[in-house]
Structure 1
């Protein structure tokens, strides 16, 4: 008959080996095969308190939904519209995006069309007979106005792949933070946003 202290010592020895393997990135199955222990209850006890390696964690589908919900909110979508698009409840959408600024109110198609035309008329760069650009340009520093204008372009069927963002910023400012901010406003993932940053120095400054 085995001495109980001997059993305890064997378990602690196995636990030490299991913990070492776990910290090296082994999955439960790999630890099982390495230590030749095929009792799931014992395996779980051996690695208790040790988090699984990152590569074994399944991606959470809700994380993808949350990220997409935030992108749509930054584009000016309402809770109801986001919920319908993603197939999730309004309460979930509210939880995911409540820290984001409230977008411009929902407009009818007719209101959106004429509002966009008025914005472009007031703020957009115009194609002139002596300067043909065939490029639509819109300049503004108000986040909600930018969101509304992008929503108008989407309504007109302009694909986002055709957009280029230009950030004009003083050379002493934090360029990376500015790019991240405007990428979020425009609904792009930072690092993949088509941003062209222009740094300038105010006249008369050192």
Structure 2
């Protein structure tokens, strides 16, 4: 009991000096709930509250910086391994074609847009056919890993577009999500006839690391042909 009383008095003193709960717990070994009970009636000055807020914000900033640095290190490692793989895979026509297509039409991770998943967008069904073969063979993905989205003008024949993409890529019509574009009164627009089926976007679930791997493959291809 005497020991607890001493710990409580020490905790009260530290709190009155403006220390945070976390800082106090590093010095006094008690449960956080006990500490909260001891300190519930201790008031802090406006300056002390401001200092605690600043400490909290700095701690959060350090935490985010550590997370960012770990992500960067992990990303660079994935890319390094992928660049080495590219030297062996580059003789495969399908692999090389898929890498180049993704370089041109795929979604990439940017410094200002991290955590980007794999996605491929185009209006040409044959490009999507190649992408699907490529992603199945070299990324180990299946149809259940994919999300299909059609972006199409509201004035177009949506039923026909669904049928078009479904038939050519062997996708169930119900799996095609529709996103309508607002009406465009541009008289020079050519996407208003039966040849227009919208733009198809294929997204791969849980594929942030795969996108980084593909980025490494692209870098490997560039290095190979830059020798």
For this structure pair, what is the TM-score category when the shorter chain's length is used for normalisation? 0.3 to 0.5
TM-score, normalization by structure 2 = 0.39
